[in-house]
Copies of this chain bind each other. A is one copy, B any other.
Amino acid sequence: MMDYGQGSGPLKNWIVAEKGFSTAHLGKSEAILSLGNGYLGLRSATEEPYLGEKRNLFVNGTFNQAAPNEVTELPNMADVTRIDIRVDGGRFSLELGGTETYIRQLNLKTAELQRTVDWTSPGGKKFRFRFRRFVSLQSLHLIGMKWEAESLTHPAEVAFDSGIDAQQSNSGAQHFLEGERRVFGDSMLQLVQRTGQSGVDAVISTVHRLSLNGQPVGAAPSKNMARRKVWLSFSVQLQPGDKLEAEKLSTVHTSRDSEWTGKPYSLEKLQERSVRELEEHAAAGYETLFSRHAETWKKEVWDKKAVVADSDDPFDQLALRFSLYHLTVMAPAHDDRMGIGAKALSGEGYKGHSFWDTEIFILPHFLYADPGTAKSLLMYRFRGLEGARKKAKANGFRGAMYPWEMAWPSDGEVTPEWGDIDIVTGTRQKILSGLLEQHISADVAFAVWQYVNTTGDREFLEHCGYEMVFETADFWASRLEWDSGRCEYVITDVIGPDEYKEHVDNNAYTNWLAYFNLTLAVKWAEELAADASAQFGGLPARIAEWREKAEKLYLPGPRQDDSVIPQDDTYLQLPEIDLSKYKEQAKVRTIYRDYNAEQINGFQVTKQADTMLLFDLLGQTFLHDDPRLSEAAKRANFAYYEPRTLHDSSLSLATYAIAANDIGNTALAYSLFKKACGIDLGPAMDTSDEGIHAAAIGGIWKTAVSGFGGVRQKDGILEISPRLPAAWHALKFPLLWRGRRLTVEATKDRLSVSVQDGGRIEFESHGRKYGAEGRIELPLGRNLTVNR
């Protein structure tokens, strides 16, 4: 039903469309067509309700614990999108009567959701409905809606109920206390909510404007209130040819908004601000507000950050735009107390919690295209030190042990205790990641390294970066276990990126990243120790400990015979099973139909890129020339692990696509890129129900720019080594490096890099160094497979 080839002329490859409607697949469109601006996230449920819909509206950062036995999560706010439309008293529903033409589409260029439907009522009257909606990027609190009803054949009464409905919950969990509801005059409504545990006030206000054939509709609506709801009921008589237009403008404000930080707050002030702002919006009207919003998208997003691919398959360009669209709507660029959830703000999945997904798969885009937002995301982790220290202490360690799942920065670990049902025992399974998936602390340190390296932001380094890296190093120093038999430090009983393996010892990724973390701390602390004004007490002793631990930490290296790095101490000794059945499935996690977690733990089967990610990440650090992470080892490990990896996490494909491209298998790389795009844009109709896959969407960008575009860094050196897939004729993208804005344009045989301010730019490409002012153009060789 989904169509990604929509749009023609100037809108070609800007449109994600649903061309047929089915209630069996509501979640797909609700999620992938969702709107937002980093402050608000609004799932694209249709105006008229359907069974099975999820009508989610999230405000970033408003975490609340619904009950003492649940973890904190982003609460589902009151809904303003539902409009109950009746035609001659009968419900307007695409499941009733007849639908002749139907299209629902997200215009990525203007970030507007549009729907047009020609509908015949069960009574045989024809109507044209058109619905439009946006969440403003220009005015973060604003949701704009507009709809038209045109009677095509008969006189008819069109009536609708529209208001604010706080009967929403998070799949039954209610976060909000019931609050005040008001009606102002004949068109404005206000509803107040307050989270039960975290005490966040939310004020939702909405205003309506109706016109019939361009003339204001005079008749006053009736006013209604029910539990947690307030709404207006409108009724208009249409003659054939009459067109009813309705605008509904809504604002959402909360006491957590950064406007109130350090200022005297009261609910009354918030309510006043809400009304005042909405009155200004009402005076402007939908079209003006929408223009401002679309203009902001043009200037701030498409003009500045677009990745342009000239591909034989125009879908690739659409996917790149889809990626940038969602990267934009998911990022809380306005507030550094907030992160990006695994499903961003597009669904209840993972409760709005941030994972390592942000640092490893989403941050790269912001590092290179929007370093201000990258900094904001790292500041979120900096603020999270409080929770990370809490977690370390609770687990008997020192320093900062970052939570596997993070919500409000001071919350610490918020991973839920229980997961899905075990098909064998009939009981729920414990989720161990919160305790055992410890690489997250090193992942954060890696992100700090990347950010500082990319931007040269010394202020961040001094105020935040040092502390984050030193404290995570302290964690590892306290975490390592001395194996007196082996005379080295080991890390036992962890979960690596491959979550199909629980309670493993010496997961290669974890040990190497811990090593990186410790070594980075040594490196930076030594720089700092040389500075007399340094304020970190006891550095020499800490440096000594970090160095000793790093030096004696066991780092799994390539096996003698086949260069395969053991994923952990036992993986390579486990029995193998035929995985083809699961590899071929369009759905993920099908292996769970045959085996339970304990059984899967005992086979050579990997959920997602684990050892391969080592090569990607550490290859971009001062460890890039470690012989154990050589090009040959990368090839060998790719060959070994890819067949054993089910890509059952959306985090897997980008890593393998980039690795495949690096080792010259551009065809496989391109096919993995397509699969990565298909995680949300593909034909599977229910896998995005809980929300879009934020890491996979970051992975689309990462595969294009870091993979095909070849943008990496090595210890302070920018690398641009494009290697385009066969179908791609050109690739163009912006790149911010150390405060300079570059434009990179690559074809199969040429690379051009220009710098906006005309200053000097230096980079490496395919093993050679280049440097010049203003612009560098260079030829790309035909046979580049072994350059890295």
Contact = CB atoms under 8 A, between A and B. Distances in A.
Given A173-B227, A227-B173, A421-B223, A183 B67 contact: no
Nearest to A593: B222
A585 interface: no
A431 interface: no
Given A426-B223, A428-B225, A169 B172 contact: yes
A226 interface: yes
Contact of A421 (B67, B167, B183): B183
A8 interface: no
Interface string A213-231: 0000000000111111010
Interface string A165-201: 0111111111001101111110000000000100000
Given A51-B50, A178-B69, A178-B70, A426 B183 contact: yes
B172 A174 contact: yes
A101 interface: no
A514 interface: no
B227 A171 contact: yes
A167 B172 contact: yes
Interface string A68-85: 111000000000000000
Interface string A726-756: 0000000000000000000000000000000
Interface in A644-700: none
Contacts of A230: 421
B225 A420 contact: yes
Name the residue in A51, A91, A224 with the highest tally of chain B Cβ atoms < 10 Å from its Cβ: A51
Nearest to A78: B172
A172 B182 contact: no
Nearest to A224: B421
A334 to B, nearest CB: 29
Given A23-B91, A68-B177, A172 B228 contact: yes
A423 interface: yes
Contacts of A225: 420-421, 428
Nearest to A168: B172
A173 B182 contact: no
Given A174-B172, A177-B69, A426 B182 contact: yes
A50 to B, nearest CB: 7
A67 B178 contact: yes
A650 to B, nearest CB: 20
Interface in A221-255: 223-228, 230
Interface in A35-49: 49
A174 B168 CA distance: 11
Contacts of A49: 51
Contact of A95 (B96, B172, B227): B96
A181 B223 CA distance: 42
A426 B184 contact: yes
A291 interface: no
Contacts of A168: 172
A200 to B, nearest CB: 15
Contact of A24 (B91, B95, B196, B226): B91
Given A174-B173, A226-B171, A228-B171, A182 B51 contact: no
Given A223-B423, A426-B182, A177 B50 contact: no
A395 interface: no
Nearest to A173: B174
A66 interface: yes
Given A51-B50, A182-B427, A426-B184, A227 B177 contact: no
A460 B24 CA distance: 60
A92 to B, nearest CB: 12
Interface string A517-560: 00000000000000000000000000000000000000000000
A777 to B, nearest CB: 56
Contacts of A423: 223
A66 B223 CA distance: 27
Contacts of A68: 177
A761 B66 CA distance: 63
B67 A177 contact: yes
A171 B181 contact: no
A171 B167 contact: yes
Contacts of A174: 66, 169, 172-174
A68 B177 CA distance: 8
Contacts of A224: 421
Contacts of A183: 421, 426-427
Contacts of A51: 49-51
Interface string A13-36: 000000000011000000000000
Contacts of A170: 227
B196 A67 contact: yes
A420 B229 CA distance: 11
A169 B171 contact: no
Nearest to A188: B426
Interface string A406-438: 000000000000001101001110000000000
Contacts of A421: 181, 183, 223-225, 230
A169 B24 CA distance: 24
A68 B423 CA distance: 39
Interface string A43-65: 00000011100000000000000
A523 to B, nearest CB: 45
Contacts of A428: 180-181, 225
Name the residue in A181, A225, A423 with the highest tally of chain B Cβ atoms < 10 Å from its Cβ: A225
A484 to B, nearest CB: 43
Contacts of A23: 91
Contacts of A228: 171-173
A416 B96 CA distance: 40
7 closest cross-chain pairs (CB), A and B:
A167-B172, A183-B426, A174-B174, A225-B421, A171-B227, A172-B228, A67-B177
Interface of A: 23-24, 49-51, 66-70, 89-91, 93, 95-96, 166-174, 177-178, 180-185, 196, 223-228, 230, 420-421, 423, 426-428
7 contacts: A67-B177, A69-B178, A171-B227, A171-B228, A173-B178, A173-B227, A182-B427
Given A225-B420, A230-B421, 6 more contacts: A67-B196, A169-B169, A171-B226, A183-B426, A183-B427, A225-B421
